[in-house]
Amino acid sequence: MSVAAPEPNVRSTIAPETPILGLSGVSKSYGAVKALREVGFKVARGEVHAILGENGAGKSTALKVINGEIEPDEGEIRLAGRATSAADRAAGDITMVHQELAVFPNMSVAENIFVGRMPRRGGRIDFRRMHARAAELLQLFGLQIDTHEILGHLTPGQQQIVEILRAVESDASLLILDEPTSGLNNREAETLMALIARLRADGHTILYVSHRLHEVLEIADHITVLRDGQFVETLRNEGLCEDDLIRRMVGRDLGPVAPADTSAVAKAPVALAVEAMSLPGAFEDVHLTVRKGEIVGVFGLEGSGAEQFSQALFGIVPPVSGTLRLFDRPVRDVSPAGLMRAGMGYLNGNRKEAGLYMDRSIADNVSAPVLDRMTRFCMIDAGRIDALARADIRRFAIRVPGPEGRPRELSGGNQQKVMISACLADGPEVIVLNEPTRGVDVGAKAEVHEVVRKEAAGGKALLVFSSDLPELLRLVHRIVVMRSRRLVGEVAGEAMSEAAVMALAAGSR
Ligand SMILES: Nc1ncnc2c1ncn2[C@@H]1O[C@H](COP(=O)(O)OP(=O)(O)O)[C@@H](O)[C@H]1O
Ligand SMILES: [Mg+2]
């Protein structure tokens, strides 16, 4: 299927422009895994072309083939109409930002941006020019960072931005970004979208992988969907919605949009009650209840206080005043340990910040919260830990070889499932989920949602903090909205819509 060529039945005197990139019949296997199977698509010069697919669909492999890092087993890759070898492409005018951070943590911010291309003057590196240009680039993101700062001291999101700026500065005509926004906050991601729009206006072509579908719909000219290593379709980005994309990515419908009947839940006993909780400067006088079997969402734009409130609820940033009750019993010890003892579970979905022991086994990770009960005659009972891990791997369909696998080797979606199973290991009655699907693909997202719905159906009370509004609308019974450090309102049932929530969150009503 052709993207750039004109309709075949339209006669034109102008020669159709040759696509900057064309793949045909590209296959690549890793042992028994067929990462790419006869993939073919085209990318027009000067467009933003998104590649979508679930984890494992072959997106990164396709990008590395294009970048010349991987030699495909079969197939042809043309650049501007010319057949190329991997070596041609590696030496050519293509820059790629990989899914994994590739930075030099011990070097300065400016050196990271200009590595291999530092400006010179009279045979010496021109440090003044380098730092001035680096400062200009950082300014694009509104980042007030000293360009002499050692990169390892920055947050992962800031490091990712530095890596993106390095690619931008390379001025390649084809820029490849593999999930560049997974570690960025919403504001940083929006800035990146604006930067991409500018690069396109300057004539660059951008190939772009992201799980944030609204972002893709906002910025892409064409969208190519891969599934199980195969090409599914290249779509023109016109009149598409997120569900159109999801259906093509997973090849199935993802079930009900919102939880069904809520009337039974409304009569259930209150499991979690927050009364007059305040942390001056962060949030003020928050009241909130969650009933048994209920899924309540909390939404707030940046600076609304929602983030600090989510952390206060689990004693990570203790509130200064207010009461927290679980099943009518006030919790006196609001430290994480005290809250866990009182029957609460907490998931911090920011995997880069918290949650997983990346280099310990899955078994160690899922048993960590309940380790004190995994002993026998004062010895750690390895058999029980192994059994718990195996049960969780089955229950959450975690794709690992076995309980000895390490989170570092897993995809983001599967890491998330390990975190959720650790959070549920102790059987908490009240579960607070903070960004439970950040950075995971649609398939794993649907599976996480399935787990959340099952826990609710089993009588658990769930409070979900998410900056992904479509996710909340799909998952929860009602959404409470925070703005300017206060809880400003709530929408539920039929009234729950993106517009209604945004109106509260942005303050237009
Ligand atoms: N270096 C590798 N060795 C073995 N298998 C790999 C390697 N890289 C990718 N794969 C496998 O190839 C498939 C496609 O992976 P990838 O291209 O990374 O997918 P995506 O980027 O869409 O998540 C997956 O099943 C993955 O496990
Ligand atoms: Mg990938």
Q: Note the pLDDT tens digit of each residue in 448-463.
A: 888 899 899 999 999 9
Whether residue 352 has pLDDT greater than 60: no
* Rounded average pLDDT over 224-234: 94
Give phi and psi for 276, each to the nearest 5. Answer: 50, 45
Q: Note the pLDDT tens digit of each residue in 384-404.
A: 677 777 777 777 677 766 777
Q: What is the pLDDT of residue 292?
A: 95
The set of long-range contacts for 390-396, using a CB threshold of 8 Å and a minimum separation of 24, is 392/362, 392/366, 392/418, 392/421, 392/425, 393/362, 395/421, 396/420, 396/421, 396/447, 396/451
3-state SS class at 62: helix
Question: Strand 222-227 and strand 230-236: pairing?
Answer: antiparallel
Q: What is the pLDDT of residue 5?
A: 45
Q: If you compute the radius of gyration of the chain from its CA atoms, what whole number of angstroms results? A: 25
| Comparison of pLDDT for 377 and 357, the residue scoring more | 357
- Do the Cβ atoms of 56 and 226 come closer than 8 Å? no
Domain boundaries, the chain: 1-93+172-250, 107-168, 254-343+428-509, 357-426
Distance 57 CA to ligand 2 centre (A): 8
For the entire predicted model, the pTM comes to: 0.62
Whether residue 476 has pLDDT greater than 70: yes
6, two tokens? 């004109």
| Strands (E) located in 199-311 | 205-209, 222-227, 230-236, 270-279, 283-291, 295-300
% of the chain at pLDDT higher than 90: 43
Residues whose beta carbon lies within 6 Å of some atom of ligand 1: 30, 33, 35, 53, 55-61
Question: Strand 461-465 and strand 94-97: pairing?
Answer: unpaired
> CB burial class (10 A; 0-12, 13-18, 19+) of residue 30?
exposed
Distance 34 CA to ligand 1 centre (A): 9
| CA nearest ligand 1 atom 3, residue | 30
| CA nearest ligand 1 atom 27, residue | 56
Q: Give dist(CA 365, CA 353) in Å, integer.
A: 15
* Rounded average pLDDT over 241-260: 69
Q: What is the pLDDT of residue 379?
A: 61
Please tell me the least confidently modeled range out of 155-169, 179-193, 371-385: 371-385
3-state SS class at 347: strand
Question: Quick one: fold of 1-93+172-250?
Answer: Rossmann fold (3.40.50)
Q: What is the pLDDT of residue 421?
A: 77
Q: What is the pLDDT of residue 323?
A: 93
> CB burial class (10 A; 0-12, 13-18, 19+) of residue 458?
exposed
Q: What is the pLDDT of residue 8?
A: 46
Q: What is the pLDDT of residue 401?
A: 67
Q: Which of 400, 464, 476, 411 is nearest to 442 (CA)?
A: 411
Q: What is the pLDDT of residue 4?
A: 47
Residues with a beta carbon under 5 angstroms from ion ligand 2: 59-60, 99
| CA nearest ligand 1 atom 2, residue | 30
3-state SS class at 26: strand
% of the chain at pLDDT higher than 70: 86
- Do the two domains 1-93+172-250 and 254-343+428-509 of this chain adopt the same fold? yes
* Rounded average pLDDT over 270-299: 95
Q: Note the pLDDT tens digit of each residue in 75-114.
A: 999 999 999 999 999 998 999 998 878 889 899 999 999 9
* Rounded average pLDDT over 262-282: 88
Distance 61 CA to ligand 2 centre (A): 7
Rounded to the nearest 10 degrees, how much is the dihedral formed by the CA atoms of 395, 398, 403, 406? -150
Q: Which of 444, 456, 441 is nearest to 259 (CA)?
A: 456
| Comparison of pLDDT for 256 and 127, the residue scoring more | 127
The CATH number that domain 254-343+428-509 falls under is 3.40.50.300
How far is the CA of 1 from the CAs of 7, 63, 205, in angstroms?
A: 11, 19, 20
Whether residue 16 has pLDDT greater than 50: yes
- pLDDT confidence bin for 464, thresholds 50/70/90: very high
Q: What is the pLDDT of residue 162?
A: 92
CB count, 10 Å around CB of 274?
A: 20
User: Which ligand approaches the C-alpha of residue 182 most closely?
Assistant: 2
- pLDDT confidence bin for 299, thresholds 50/70/90: very high
Which atom in ligand 1 lies closest to the alpha carbon of residue 59?
Answer: 22
| Comparison of pLDDT for 43 and 301, the residue scoring more | 43
Mean pLDDT of the chain: 84
| Exposure class string for 91-124: b at 16+ Cβ within 10 A, else e | ebebbbbbbeeebeeeebbbbbbbeeeeeeeeee
Q: Give dist(CA 196, CA 181) in Å, integer.
A: 12
Q: Note the pLDDT tens digit of each residue in 300-348.
A: 887 789 989 998 998 888 888 999 999 999 999 988 888 888 999 888 7
Question: Strand 295-300 and strand 461-465: pairing?
Answer: parallel
247, two tokens? 């259906």
> CB burial class (10 A; 0-12, 13-18, 19+) of residue 36?
buried
- pLDDT confidence bin for 209, thresholds 50/70/90: very high
Q: Give dist(CA 251, CA 315) in Å, integer.
A: 41
Contacts of residue 100, defined as CB under 8 A and 6 or more positions apart, other chains included, come to none
Which atom in ligand 1 lies closest to the alpha carbon of residue 55?
Answer: 23
3-state secondary structure string, 438-477? CCCCHHHHHHHHHHHHHHHHCCCEEEEECCCHHHHHHHCC
State the residue for tokens 């950082």.
Answer: 138
Q: What is the pLDDT of residue 414?
A: 75
* Rounded average pLDDT over 149-172: 89
Distance 58 CA to ligand 1 centre (A): 6
Q: What is the pLDDT of residue 103?
A: 87
Contacts of residue 164, defined as CB under 8 A and 6 or more positions apart, other chains included, come to 97, 177, 180, 192, 195
* Rounded average pLDDT over 255-272: 72
Whether residue 351 has pLDDT greater than 60: no
Q: Which of 383, 419, 415, 423 is nearest to 399 (CA)?
A: 415
Whether residue 7 has pLDDT greater than 80: no
Whether residue 489 has pLDDT greater than 90: yes
